[in-house]
Structure 1
Amino acid sequence: MATPPLTIRNVTSNPIELKLLERFEAPQSRVNGGGITNITNITRTLSGFMSNITTPSSPQLAAKSESFTSQDVSVPIAAFETQPTDIATNITEVLRLTFEVEGQRYRVDTPTLSQQSTVLTPLSPNPRFEFTAVYLQKSSHLTLYSSTRLESWMGKLKHEIPLSALSIPGTHNSPTHHVALPSVRCQAVSVKAQLENGVRFLDIRVQPESADDVSKEGLVLVHSAFPISLTGTKYFRDLINTVYSFLDANPTEAIIISLKREGVGKSTDQHLSKIVKTHYTNDRWFTDNRIPTLGEARNKIVLIRRFALDDSLKGENNGRGWAIDAESWPDNCADGICSSGEIRVQDFYEVSESENIHKKITYSTDQLARAAEAVCPGPGDVEAAAAEAAKQPFFMNFLSASNFWRADCWPDRVAAKVNPSIVDHLCRSHNETEGKGDGSTGIVVCDWVGNNGDWDLVRCIVGHNAKLELR
């Protein structure tokens, strides 16, 4: 089967040059009916990933390969540039690519059996850089991102940057990783694991245990009318304690929580607002009704409220109200704006047939394009940056969709199609044209990230903060 020549995209702030191309036949490979079978014993290292797999050395590859060629090349790729090449690719071969950055060399083998990203191996002592590669085999496309420690990726960015300018990974119905009814479970791993692997937006739905007693703090975690777990009630307090513990260990980070009342109880939004204000928020929360800068939000929870306020809270913050206002959330929309003007959202979720998933993907990539065109204000004093932040809304982009009555449209099945499509888009197309903004993704809200240790979608989202690192 013919494959296109190699294309390399550099989504980093560093000019990179491909210097050495090595080519070898995949060990113990054979072509059978147009596909590759029985490829074994190739392993790799995923630095910073949840993996104990190791990459073979050059002698090991040479010993196992039926053919091996080495060629010096010179293919410069400027920062934020895509470079087509005439380097042929073949499904029966592995390419070992050696890049040079400021006199230091880094190497990657493509493709990898797992089809997940890999951290480039430094070949020079005291490496100054770390790069992550995502290889899309079908299109022979290699994308290079600046690697980062996912548990503390916000630490690379300046205080003055508005939170709305960032590329932020998020999760939909974040705590729903438990055993639950079909279509209720939306996540593969716990909130703790999500935070440790880069997620910074949490979507939470709760129902007060008491419908009329503000002295009782109990908030039950729910998804629509259902509990999130069949193994016992789960509570908002435990989730918040998890967030606090994470922030204690990673004080450079900020966690955005979108909170909504759902469930079958008789409580009201107003009652919920009083419970949250009385029992939960403190100086570790940002509860002004405006978008903060990253510096204002570090080591804090930023509250977005999808509920109405009690009258007693409407005068908070000098009459601006309490928490970022998302009360008028546009339902099931391809492109909607909350009346506050602080949030622009894509949240089309009703997929009656599996074919509608393609429509969902289109709406999601359209929202990514809108987010990419925004331009973050230049560095300045914090007050000026805060004023600019108010002009740029959160671009919120839900990749989630489901249909309770169709198994092929449950969250995990939808995510299995949507997530790889968005990885492909972020690697090959997102903000590919120069001069079209900072290339932010906005807040990308996902289902089933981290499934089987696959955090590529999160890494791709975080990687698009590279332009902001230059501010």
Structure 2
Amino acid sequence: MASLTIRNLTITPLELKHVERFEGEAQPMPSGGAGEVIANVTANVTGAITSLFNKTAEQTPAAPAAPEPVKFWGVKRREGAGPHDQQDVSVSLAPFETKTTDIRAADPNREVMHLVFEQPGGPGRYAVDCPAPSPQSVVMERLDGADKEFTAVYIASAATLAIFSSAQLPRWMGALADGYPLTALSIPGTHNSPTCHTALPSVRCQAVGVREQLDNGVRFMDIRVSASPDSDDLTLVHSAFPISLTGNKYLADLLRDCYEFLDANPSEVLLMSLKREGTGKGSDADLSRYLRDRYLGGDDARRWYTDPSIPRLGDVRGRIVLVRRFGLDDSMRGEHDGRGWGVDGSSWPDNCADGTCGSNQIRVQDFYEVDQATNIEKKIELARAHLERCGEQTFNIAGGDEHPSPFFVNFLSASNFFNANCWPDRIAQKVNPAVIEYLCVRHGDHGKGPGQLSVGDACTGVVVTDWVGYRGDWDLIRCIVGWNARLQLKQ
């Protein structure tokens, strides 16, 4: 039987003091998956599109699907049963220390361990069951006047309990010093951020809208717009398709949501990647002028950071940093004393495992051509490798870095329009838990990443996700945000 490993991923020293063991009951996973959220109209469109590319489906009846095996959601204590074993222990954990104990981990699906921690010299105690009744993170129970809040994630497959500081997700940047460059932060993002509406297969990438994403910690938005040569109304798209089958959605409305969020949370910073896609006949030059003249100018100019340099956190609180994935009109080449306009991602490398934009300000993993379910494992390994590369970087809080490290941008997204098993929600069902496991078990631990690299400040960089927030599950976002506590050790 495996021994319990505990990772204290907080700035607070903790000591495990007491262990109780209870008989457990495995909890079956609730029926349905993320794909159920997509409306019936999408399913009807899917059938019509599929028939266009697979005529044999009209001639050969599909074989009945095999029943899905029962999947277990978690474990809870058997009702009415007391502990069958308990012991006092003393396991001290310094901030960001990982320790494998001599305590036997819970018997999978049969047992629940109740752990009680203390903060040396601090008030109160903290308790948690592992595993929990669901795989989602839990806020540790505060006992006897405990004054801090911790989030715990138990990874049963690795017999590892990871403890994070419970950040206030609407304003998590408020705990970080002004001097850090934004590239030092662990920043959750979303891919095709506004695509939460009823849409064509593989177009929808998100479970909830942009404002709910922001309120739950997301700070990087991936926005695609279609431009017309004769109108500055910019419609939101994903590739060639509109993001909603019930009517166009517009950039102006999305920006209103962002401004309202920042007004309510002035400690925060948003990064917005803007790219031209869709069927509009407008050019990059048209898009750049529209953005300058209508959206990022006038009274709203104060809300944006369009300098082509990487800013420090204190210089851009309450603002949106432009990440530009389009070319500029000739009339804009003199912006900022001829240095450019926005963080330059205009030469974005396509379908890359580890690519650099021409500006050298962005280093990206954006491998997205997943043509079969088995390729998802390749995607997971590429994402882990990029997390490790980013975690190797170190940063100077005092300033003075003329050329700070680039933004490490790590897309967890991928899709294949013609394979339902490779639509965004299906891929997220595999990739998101795998990345949570990596962040809880291996990230920031010397030599434990795929390349066995050393660890610097262990930031994750910008991690761009699909289908976060489904059924209230923000674990991936919490794990990314949690790694910012490592920076607080240097403040």
State the TM-score, normalizing by the size of structure 2.
0.85
Q: CA RMSD in A?
A: 2.1
2:280: which partner in 1?
Answer: 265
Identify the residue that residue 33 of structure 2 maps to in structure 1. none
Aligned equivalent of 2:437: 424
Change (3 A) 1:39 1:421: closer
Alignment of 1:288-307 (within 5 A): 288-307=307-326
Question: Pick from 22, 35, 41: which aligns with 1:24?
Answer: 22
Q: Name the stretch that deviates more: 86-95 or 347-356.
A: 86-95
Question: How far did residue 138 of structure 1 move?
Answer: 2.0
The answer to whether structure 1 residue 463 and structure 2 residue 461 are counterparts is no
Q: Are 1:441 and 2:460 an aligned pair?
A: yes
Three-state SS of the structure 2 residue aligned to 1:467 is helix
* Residue 123, structure 1, aligned to residue 143, structure 2: yes
Q: 1:28 to 1:15 in 2, by over 3 A?
A: closer
Structure 1 residues 128, 422: CA separation in 2 closer, same or farther (over 3 Å shift)? same
* 1:37 CA displacement: 8.2
SS, match of residue 116 in structure 2? strand
Residue 294 (structure 2) aligns with: 279
Q: Which residue of 2 aligns with 1:352?
A: 371
CA distance change for structure 1 residues 28 and 297 in 2, over 3 Å: closer, same or farther? closer
Q: Encode CA deviations 1:235-293: one digit per residue, 9 max, x unaligned.
A: 00000000001001100000000000000111000000000000111111000001111
1:96 aligns with 2:114: yes
Does the aligned pair in 2 maintain the 1:27–1:64 contact within 8 Å? no
- Indicate the larger mover: 144-153 or 5-14: 5-14
Q: Distance in 2 between matches of 1:453 and 1:223?
A: 24
| Residue aligning to 2:202 | 183
Q: Distance in 2 between matches of 1:443 and 1:66?
A: 45
Partner SS for 1:86? strand
Q: Secondary structure of 1:7's partner?
A: strand
**CA positional deviation for 1:90:** 1.2
Residue 167 (structure 2) pairs with residue 148 (structure 1): yes
Q: Could you tell me how far 1:347 is from its partner in structure 2?
A: 0.2
SS of the residue 2:103 aligns to: coil
Residue 90 of structure 1: SS of its match in structure 2? Answer: coil
1:72 to 68, 78, 88: 88
Farther off after superposition, 431-440 or 131-140: 431-440
Match in the other structure for 1:55: none
Q: Does 1:405 align with 2:421?
A: no
1:200 counterpart = 2:219: yes
Q: What SS is found at the alignment partner of 1:128? A: coil
Query: Match of 1:107?
Result: 127
Distance verdict in 2 for CA 1:100–1:266, change over 3 Å: same
Identical positions, percent: 54
Structure 1 residue 374 displacement after superposition = 0.6
Q: 1:267 to 1:421 in 2, by over 3 A?
A: same
| Residue type at the aligned position of 1:12 | T
Counterpart among 7, 10, 22 of residue 9 in structure 1: 7
Q: Distance in 2 between matches of 1:308 and 1:344?
A: 19
CA contact (8 A) 2:307 2:336 kept: yes
Give the secondary-structure state (helix, strand or coil) at the position aligned to 1:431: coil
Unaligned runs of 5+ in 1: 43-60
1:137 Cα offset (Å) = 1.5
CA shift, 1:39, in A, is 8.9
Of the candidates 87, 98, 101, which is equivalent to residue 85 of structure 1? Answer: 101
Aligned to 2:355: 336
- Equivalent residue, structure 2, for 1:233: 248
Aligned mates of 1:343, 1:366 — CA distance in 2? 16
* Structure 1 residues 206 and 144, CA gap change in structure 2 (3 angstroms): same
SS at the partner of 1:135?
Answer: strand
Match of 2:49 in 1: none
CA pair 264-81 structure 1, distance change in 2 beyond 3 A: same
Q: CA deviation at 1:130?
A: 1.3
The CA deviation string for residues 314-351 of structure 1, in whole angstroms up to 9 with x for no partner, is 11111111111100000000000001010000000001
Are 1:160 and 2:179 matched, yes or no?
A: yes
Q: 1:25 to 1:410 in 2, by over 3 A?
A: same
Cα drift, residue 466 of structure 1: 1.2
Aligned to 1:224: 239
Distance 1:62 1:151, change over 3 A: same
Gap change, CA 1:38 and 1:345, over 3 Å in 2 = closer
2:368 is equivalent to residue 315 of structure 1: no
| Residue 85 (structure 1) shift | 1.4
SS of match in other structure, 1:425: helix
Distance in 1 between residues matched to 2:462 and 2:74, nearest whole Å: 38
Amino acid at match of 1:73: V
How big is the shift at 1:24?
Answer: 1.3
* Counterpart-to-counterpart distance in 2, 1:29 and 1:152: 34
What is the distance in 1 between the residues matched to 2:73 and 2:413?
A: 35
Question: TM-score normalised to the size of structure 1?
Answer: 0.89
8 Å Cα contact 1:26-1:39 kept in structure 2: no
**Secondary structure at the residue paired with 1:85?**
strand
> C-alpha displacement at 1:78, in angstroms?
1.8
Partner amino acid for 1:261? R
Map Cα deviations across residues 184-232 of structure 1 (whole Å, 9 max, x no partner).
0001111011000000000000012x31x3xx43100000000000011
**CA distances 1:57-115 after superposition (whole Å, capped 9, x unpaired):** xxxx7971154332111011121111111222213111110111133311111111211
* C-alpha distance in 1 between matches for 2:387 and 2:20: 36
Between the aligned partners of 2:469 and 2:305, the Cα distance in structure 1 is: 28
CA distance in 2, matches of 1:220, 1:231: 13
